[in-house]
C-alpha cells in the first residue's frame, strides 16, 4: 500500500493560479502521476517495457441531468442508443 501525504487546498489553488488552469486540471494531473508512480512501485511490466514513452492519463466522468422522459431527448453514447432501440 502506498500512502500519500495530505496536501492543503490552498497549495492546490496556488498551483492552479500559477499554471493558469482549472482545479480539475491540477487534480487530474496529480492523479495521473499517482497512477504512474504506483505502476512504477509495482514494477508494472508495461511501464518497464515502454519506459519513458509510457503516459498515464486520468479522465473525468461527466453526466448531464435529463429532465425529459423522452429517451430520444437525452445525451447518450452510441452503445446505449443501440440497446434502447
What single string gives the DSSP state of each residue in 11-56? HHHHHHHHHT--HHHHHHHHHHHHHHHHHHHTT-HHHHHHGGG---
pLDDT by residue (tens digit) across 40-80? 888 888 877 887 777 767 676 666 566 666 666 666 655 54
Every domain of the chain and the residues it spans: 9-84
- pLDDT, mean over the chain: 75
The predicted pLDDT at position 85 comes to: 47
List b or e across 42-51, with b for residues whose CB sees 16 or more CB atoms inside 10 angstroms: eebeebeeee
- Helix axis angle for 9-19 and 23-41, nearest 10°, is 110
The predicted pLDDT at position 47 comes to: 79
C-alpha cell at 29: 494531473
The predicted pLDDT at position 24 comes to: 83
Q: Is the pLDDT of residue 27 over 90?
A: no
Amino acid at each position: 500500500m502506498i500512502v500519500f501525504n495530505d496536501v492543503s487546498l490552498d497549495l492546490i489553488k496556488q498551483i492552479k493560479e500559477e499554471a493558469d488552469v482549472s482545479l480539475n486540471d491540477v487534480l487530474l494531473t496529480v492523479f495521473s502521476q499517482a497512477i504512474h508512480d504506483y505502476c512504477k512501485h509495482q514494477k508494472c511490466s508495461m511501464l518497464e517495457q515502454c519506459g519513458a514513452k509510457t503516459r498515464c492519463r486520468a479522465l473525468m466522468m461527466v453526466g448531464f441531468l435529463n429532465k425529459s422522459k423522452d429517451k430520444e431527448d437525452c445525451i447518450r453514447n452510441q452503445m446505449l442508443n443501440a440497446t434502447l432501440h
